[in-house]
Amino acid sequence: MIKVGTDIVTISRIEKSLDTFGECFKAKFLNPSEMTLAQKPERIAGFWAAKEAISKAIGCGIGKELSFHDITIAKDAKGSPYFTLSQNAQKIHAIDSSSLSISHDGGFAIAVAVVVLGIL
């Protein structure tokens, strides 16, 4: 089964949270490897949107079945984003393959995730 999820966020919303909560805000939803990749507010916003889009594509949202930290976003050799799930989350959601796109412009960050879910 092929599923699609998308999310959009204003970069200013992320900037406000960074100003208010600093590193604690980033630690709430980014894994250590992601903190290295996401230094600028627009990229942090893109990672936020990506994790929300991934959870929507899977069909559970962020919560009990899938936390922000169950999702790790990385970049391939060409700089294209991709994601992996924690071992436990992968067992629950059985993703066979996936694709991720992240973009930002005009004060917004948007992400689209496509997943192919296996049959459990």
Active site residues: 56, 104
Instruction: Tell me whether residue 83 is exposed, middle or buried, using C-beta atoms within 10 angstroms of its C-beta: 0 to 12, 13 to 18, 19 or more.
Output: buried
108 beta partners:
10, 105
CA distance 45 to 26: 10
Instruction: Tell me whether residue 8 is exposed, middle or buried, using C-beta atoms within 10 angstroms of its C-beta: 0 to 12, 13 to 18, 19 or more.
Output: middle
CA distance 23 to 33: 14
